[in-house]
């Protein structure tokens, strides 16, 4: 009698576990946006790849609000240089900013 009860309780317990695990897994279904592995193609994209992707992924650039002007991207390049120590030569700031504004901003 005792043994039968124990087995029944175990079966119920196992069924609950299985159901619980199933709904837990279903609750974990998360869809992430596809990662932006490469920079947008265009004149200056090679320079940007060499100067901008040493420290962080393309996502930092690609997830900026769209339509930002050239001045925003120039300031961004200068900030990377001054604040974070990005290795960008003086005469590379303009071509980088122009590429970024074309590829990710308002273009001018």
Tell me which residues touch ligand HEC (CB under 6 A): 51-52, 54-56, 60-61, 64, 76-77, 79-80, 84-86, 88, 96, 100
CA neighbor of 52 nearest in space, from 102, 97, 105: 97
Task: Report the nearest approach of ligand HEC to the CB of residue 59 (Å).
Answer: 9
Q: Specify the residue, 24 or 84, whose C-beta has the smaller distance to ligand HEC.
A: 84
Gap between the Cα atoms of 77 and 82, Å rounded = 9
| Closer to ligand HEC by Cβ: residue 20 or 101 | 101
Alpha-carbon span 102 to 12, nearest angstrom: 63
What is the Cα–Cα distance from 99 to 105, expressed in whole angstroms? Answer: 9
Nearer to ligand HEC, 51 or 102 (CB): 51
């Amino acid at each position: 009698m005792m043994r039968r009860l124990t087995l029944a309780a175990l079966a119920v317990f196992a069924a609950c576990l299985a159901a619980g695990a199933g709904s837990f897994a279903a609750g974990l279904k998360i869809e992430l946006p596809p990662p932006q592995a490469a920079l947008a193609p265009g004149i200056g994209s090679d320079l940007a790849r060499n100067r901008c992707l040493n420290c962080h992924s393309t996502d930092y650039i690609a997830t900026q609000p769209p339509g930002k002007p050239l001045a925003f991207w120039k300031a961004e390049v200068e900030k990377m240089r001054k604040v974070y120590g990005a290795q960008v030569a003086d005469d590379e700031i303009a071509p980088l900013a122009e590429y970024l504004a074309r590829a990710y901003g308002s273009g001018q």
